[in-house]
Structure 1
Amino acid sequence: MSADLFDPTRPHTCKPSHAARELGLKPGDFDRAVQLGCIRTVPDEGGGGGRRVERAEIERVRAQDGFPESLLDRVRVVGTAEGAALMEIPAGRFTRLARLGLLVPAAFYLNRYRAVVWLYLAEELRQFAAEPENARLLKGRTPETLRGQLTAGVDLRARNWRGRHLGLLLRRAEDPWARAAAVAAFLTPVDVADIVRDPYERAQLNRFRPMPAGHGVPGSPVTHATEQITTAQDADEIGWLRSELARLAEEARSVSSVARPAARPLPPVIRTAPRPIPPMARTVTGPAEETSRFPKPAASSPGPDGFSPESTQRLPEPAAWAEEPWTRPTWSTARSCEPVVRPPEPMSASRPAAPTAPRGHGTAQPGPRRSPRGLRAWLRRRSPRRTGAARV
């Protein structure tokens, strides 16, 4: 719902959209009428930061002669072809006059081919064609000085639009920081930061910065083309805007200071007195002492079951290990390509068993040898020939 129903302190104002409907204007025509000064607006006291229109202003515009045709004629804009037909000149001559800065555009937009289309006020074109001193520019040969500028590539349409738009913004601005923000809107952020060093003042300028002329997705070609038009390009124009921004910023500082965050007191820093470095511990510099993991029992008397703790401390080494220490065998590093052939051993001969020394029981004693006769007798008993002959 409208804010008029909830705020009884503003019963005599309305929103711009509601005022445009009552005056029979489109949103673009209403904005142009406000910029040209045909309709006066007041600041929104509700804190929204916008503008509102008083009921008395709507009644004043309605009471004018020829309303609404007179108002529509004052805010009407035309393109190149329609403007040339209105001035009764060729379209090429109209474009040359606009490039030379003799015809100032009032608005622009980008068509579907991303080409800039300039719009001009129809009332200003009629006034230019009606002046007698401009008759030599509308008919006949173009003067030599103007033709030289066209040959050099002069195009003042964008610069003239920026000058007109800056004048409209300065007339509408009521706050000193708003006037400085209107000038800063046509400079790059680098130029603004070079003139206004304080970050809080730059934030104030961004707060009052007017809306850009064109809307588009950030980074799109439409937005890039719009930025090229709305930003100063010539060196003399940039220098003049920088000087104006410095002057208006100084005036704004003298009138009203920028709000800054309150400084927070820092807690006091407690500094302790330096202490001497303690000497290094003895465990670091001194030799490490051997400490047993388990404490040694005080007495070695056997327990009630006849178990003595000394018997579990360490086992005696085997005698074989002490007498014959094990040594690593040496292997020859040279490889022989000839195979090693060993003579076959007789089946009847039995290998004598190598004496083995059991661990922990002293040296090994040679045992009694088995007689080979017992093996032959056992083989003779298992032979099938012997059994067959005995049965026969």
Structure 2
Amino acid sequence: MSGHTITTPHVPTIATPHFPAVAAGTVATSRAARELGLRRGEFDLAVRLGRIRTVPDEGGGGARRVAHSEIERLRAAADFPEGLRAGVRVVGTREGAALMDVTAARFTRLARLGLVTPVKFYLNRYRALVWLYLADDIEQFAAKEEHRRLLTGRTPEALRDRLRAGVDLRPRNWRARQLEFLLRQADGPWQRAGALAALLAPDQIAETVPDPRERARVDRFRPDPPAQGAPGSPSARIAETIAMAADPDEIGRLRADLARAVEQARPQRPVPRPAPHGTADADADRRPPRREVRGAATHVPDRTERTRGFLSRLCRRSP
């Protein structure tokens, strides 16, 4: 498929936003969702899209919190809460086609070509993959004059060639959006490396980060793929497949970005290394001896011998 793809914007791996970890003046995400009038799924999507900023909980555990100032900023918007809800409204193929005023088949073709990017996916009860899109994205796409020819009439020959070749950029574009979210949530250099590794297979990570201690640090901050069904179930395996980079050029770019991220993280937060053997030997030479040497053999006296020696000395002193 790599020979028939449409180039998508490169996701930056450095200079991602960083918000300081604070506890005072923040609330749990569940409370923030209630105060903003959002359902949990809407709130989570708003966070993924960067429309609601979260900060790490300084208590640890990987939890996120929302500052009171962030809630106040969102509530101060002139179109709150309708505008916030509208920004996270998702639609499927049929509803998206209706927003574009095209057939569902044409909408699917546009999505496969990468012209409309999915924001979520799930597997229905028949294990069929269902893509969901932001209604706001679709409306903006349809409103641009340069896109009118794609919504009516015959699809350009170059695009039809790609479709005939089996191009489907929906998984790749979803991964690009997922990576943006993971990098936005990263709070340090190794977390950024872990975010990039989240889209690579373990063997690709091992080849890119050959040092086992650095690789363990990357794995520590490597987010799990989105959950779909019970672990090990067909649904979970399909979701894991979608979450992994597939095209050679996509894999190559992620590996290059991962190697660069590790190189940048190494001097900032070095991975602990064991003490050299020479240092350990020198320390041992400075320790006082704890063994008795009898001839050429090293012998540690047991408790019985120590007791017998003490009684013998005591008897020699008695009159």
Q: How does the TM-score come out when normalised to structure 1? A: 0.64
CA distance in 2, matches of 1:70, 1:38: 11
- The counterpart of 2:180, out of the listed 167, 173, 179, is 167
Letter in 2 for 1:235: P
Deviations 1:119-173 (A, max 9, x none): 1000010000000000000000011111111111111100111111112222222
Aligned to 1:232: 245
1:101 is paired with a residue whose SS is coil
> Identity of aligned pairs, percent?
59
Residue range with higher mean Cα deviation, 195-204 or 237-246: 195-204
CA distance in 2, matches of 1:135, 1:248: 41
- The counterpart of 1:180, out of the listed 193, 214, 228, is 193
Letter in 2 for 1:116: L
1:206 is paired with a residue whose SS is helix
C-alpha RMSD of matched pairs (Å): 2.2
Aligned to 1:211: 224
Would you say 1:194 and 2:207 are equivalent positions?
yes
In 2 relative to 1, CA 109–263 (structure 1 residues): closer, same or farther, beyond 3 Å?
Answer: farther
Could you tell me how far 1:204 is from its partner in structure 2?
A: 1.5
Letter in 2 for 1:52: R
In the TM superposition, structure 1's runs of 4+ consecutive aligned residues that sit over 4 Å from their partners are: 260-268, 270-274
Aligned to 1:115: 128
Letter in 1 for 2:211: D
The structure whose residues are more often helix, as a share, is: 2
2:175 is paired with a residue whose SS is helix
- The counterpart of 1:35, out of the listed 48, 58, 64, is 48
In 2 relative to 1, CA 143–260 (structure 1 residues): closer, same or farther, beyond 3 Å?
Answer: same
Letter in 1 for 2:41: G
Could you tell me how far 1:255 is from its partner in structure 2?
A: 1.3
Residues 113 and 159, structure 2, Cα contact 8 Å, conserved in 1: yes
In 2 relative to 1, CA 105–27 (structure 1 residues): closer, same or farther, beyond 3 Å?
Answer: same
Deviations 1:74-117 (A, max 9, x none): 01110000000111100000000000111111111111111111
Could you tell me how far 1:35 is from its partner in structure 2?
A: 1.8
Residues 179 and 196, structure 2, Cα contact 8 Å, conserved in 1: yes
CA distance in 1, matches of 2:24, 2:251: 45
Residues 43 and 52, structure 1, Cα contact 8 Å, conserved in 2: yes
Q: How does the TM-score come out when normalised to structure 2? A: 0.78
Residues 226 and 240, structure 2, Cα contact 8 Å, conserved in 1: no
Letter in 2 for 1:130: A
Aligned to 2:25: 12
CA distance in 2, matches of 1:216, 1:177: 29
Letter in 1 for 2:232: G
Residues 122 and 228, structure 2, Cα contact 8 Å, conserved in 1: no
Letter in 2 for 1:28: G
- The counterpart of 1:154, out of the listed 167, 178, 185, is 167
Could you tell me how far 1:263 is from its partner in structure 2?
A: 7.5
CA distance in 1, matches of 2:114, 2:171: 9
Letter in 1 for 2:88: V
Q: Name the larger-Rg structure.
A: 1
Deviations 1:357-377 (A, max 9, x none): xxxxxxxxxxxxxxxxxxxxx
Aligned to 1:133: 146
Would you say 1:82 and 2:83 are equivalent positions?
no
In 2 relative to 1, CA 262–117 (structure 1 residues): closer, same or farther, beyond 3 Å?
Answer: farther
Gaps of 5+ in 2: 1-21, 286-290, 298-319
CA distance in 2, matches of 1:10, 1:225: 38
Could you tell me how far 1:11 is from its partner in structure 2?
A: 3.8
Gaps of 5+ in 1: 1-8, 275-392
